[in-house]
Amino acid sequence: MDRKKELKQMYKETAIEAGIYQIKNTINHKIYIAGTRNLKTITGKKFQLETGTNTNKMLQEEWNQFGKDAFVFEVLEVLKKKEEGYFDEKRELEKLEDKWLEQLQPYGERGYNLEKTR
């Protein structure tokens, strides 16, 4: 099997994991916190920023200003799924995201998130 096919197969076999990630500006230390049901989609967020299509205007402006090398993408926590019984992944992911937002407070001068009104 050639290398390209091998890499594609490895990608397909990789388990889909939900979790919380951050995008951190290493110059001013602002952060963006988000949850996703598929951590592989972080690559898509990077692509949005590189093409200028990210919907978070503050983050996009600073990405354009400082450049891609000023930002790092990090997984903060992978959602642990229950082995037995009912498991509401979406709800549990929201709770996990709320925990990280509360802990890191990425608002205003500290980050790119908007405070949730729940």
What does the mean pLDDT of the chain come to? 92
What type of residue sits at position 51? Answer: T
Could you list the residue range(s) of the whole structural domain that residue 74 is in? 15-110
When pLDDT is cut at 50, 70 and 90, the band that residue 42 belongs to is very high
Using pLDDT thresholds of 50, 70 and 90, give the confidence band for residue 28: very high
Residue 101 in this model has a pLDDT that exceeds 60: yes
* Structural domain count, the chain: 1
pLDDT at 32 over 80: yes
- Tens digit of each residue's pLDDT (9 = 90 or more) over 55-91: 999 999 999 999 999 999 999 999 998 777 888 999 9
Determine, yes or no, domain membership for 9.
Answer: no
d(CA 13, CA 75): 20
In a domain, 4, yes or no: no
User: 18 or 8: which carries more pLDDT confidence?
Assistant: 18
**Residue 1 counted as domain residue:** no
Judge whether 118 lies within some domain: no
> What pLDDT shows up at residue 81?
84
pLDDT at 118: 55
For residue 47, name the pLDDT band (cuts at 50, 70, 90). Answer: very high
Alpha carbon separation from 52 to 34, 68, 85 (Å, rounded)? 19, 11, 42
CB-CB neighbours of 68 under 10 Å: 10
pLDDT above 90 for 97:
yes
